[in-house]
Amino acid sequence: MGSYHNILVNALVNLGDVVLATGAVALLRKAYPEAKITMLVKPVVREAVENNPVIDEVILFRYRAKENSVGQMWEMAKDLRRRKFDLSISFDRKLRPALLCWLAGIPARIGPDKVFDSKPSRVNWLYTKTISIPHDLETTLQAETYQEIVRGLTGQTGREKPVFARVTDEAEAEAGALLERLPAAERRIALCVKGTFPLKTWPKEYFVEVVDGLAKRQNTAFFIVGAPGDRAYADEVIADMHHPVMNFCGETSLVSLAALIRASDLFVTVDTGAAHIAATTGVLMVTMYGCTSPKRWHPINEHARALTAEMDCCPCSVRPEDCPSWPEPECLWKVTPEKVLEACEELL
């Protein structure tokens, strides 16, 4: 294991992956406790890694192929060169950040031979060392793949849990203001009803049945969380409900979302980035999977339950119109409300 003092971590991935990758950063921190660790991320996930106990600094990668020039890429490479990183680690295997690190003259550039799929890539040519990932990606937690990259570099054998940003007093206040809008109840249950694409989105009518079932058991206040773009869909789900449900989509930052979920008694969610944020809070949670597999994307939380139909065709990345059982994909519809209610009852 080399001695490094100024480390750049490339993680140009989506929110859930960034959260999962922080476990690998925590492992890296254990190997190099005195090093400065900087994370290169997309602007949309900034809040997950700013003010994070295992990350010292965040650089935002604002490049868009249709908008940015080669000159702007070169300016960013010069900025990285001025920072004098002595090690870069790729958690994304993307060409542009690897090229930036090469142009910046970072002497040690580490990347895996696979991270999301096993397709060969010329990006390996830009690494000074390629870490071999020995396991099957589809049957191994993605967080384990990220940590295997660090173990391959450092020789460590341990594991770390993902680490989310510190919840600030301001975020606590934002969450508290939302909770005050809920009716008085013995329990507060959070819902996330929309996935990033249709084959992740559990049927609306199933959410209605789950809310009906949970409302019968105890006096409960319900609310939906999600991104601003999820708000209209959440309103459609609420319109079919037989009990009051508040729509908080778009009303939280990522950090106040964590505070809000942490203050809840239960989180019922589809497979999305919010599920991995929730897992870091330790909340009781049930996650429903469709075209993705909990073998790879299970929330890292001992209080989490993952439900899947275990279809032979899963995991898949097909378009909805190519799914043989669309518009009622069996991978989602076979995860019934009865199964979700049973898991909720077990937890509660």
pLDDT of residue 322: 87
Q: Which residues are bridge partners to 306 per DSSP? A: 287
Per-residue pLDDT tens over the stretch 272-307:
999 999 999 999 999 999 999 999 999 999 999 999
The three-point CA angle 182-184-187 to 5° equals 90
Taking alpha carbons only, the member of 44, 47, 26 closest to residue 257 is 47
Residues 6 or more apart in contact with residue 85 via CB below 8 angstroms: 6, 7, 8, 38, 101, 104, 106
Q: What is the sign, positive or negative, of the torsion defined by CA atoms of 245, 250, 253, 254?
A: positive
Please tell me the distance from the alpha carbon of residue 348 to that of residue 336, in angstroms, as a whole number: 19
Of the pLDDT bands very low, low, confident and very high (cuts 50, 70, 90), residue 320 is confident
Please tell me the distance from the alpha carbon of residue 82 to that of residue 90, in angstroms, as a whole number: 20
Q: Which residues are bridge partners to 129 per DSSP? A: 110
Considering the domain 169-347, what is its CATH architecture? 3-Layer(aba) Sandwich (3.40)
Residues 6 or more apart in contact with residue 156 via CB below 8 angstroms: 27, 30, 31, 150
Q: Tell me, what amino acid is at 65?
A: A
Average pLDDT over residues 164-172: 96
Token representation of residue 285:
């949670």
Q: Where along the chain do its domains lie?
A: 6-154, 169-347
Q: Tell me, what amino acid is at 305?
A: R
Q: What are phi and psi for residue 182, nearest 5 degrees? A: -80, 150
* CATH of span 6-154: 3.40.50.2000
pLDDT above 80 (res 71):
no
Q: What is the DSSP string of 145-163?
A: HHHHHHHHHH---------
| Phi-psi label, residue 11: left if phi above 0, alpha if psi -120 to 50, beta otherwise | beta
Q: What is the pTM of this model?
A: 0.95
Please tell me the distance from the alpha carbon of residue 280 to that of residue 162, in angstroms, as a whole number: 7
Higher pLDDT, 235 or 74: 235
pLDDT of residue 195: 93
pLDDT above 70 (res 219):
yes
Q: Is 128 exposed, middle or buried (0-12, 13-18, 19+ CB in 10 A)?
A: middle
Would you say the CATH fold of 169-347 matches that of 6-154?
A: yes
Please tell me the distance from the alpha carbon of residue 239 to that of residue 208, in angstroms, as a whole number: 10
Q: What is the sign, positive or negative, of the torsion defined by CA atoms of 221, 163, 141, 123?
A: positive
Per-residue pLDDT tens over the stretch 9-30:
999 999 999 999 999 999 999 9
Token representation of residue 316:
């898949």
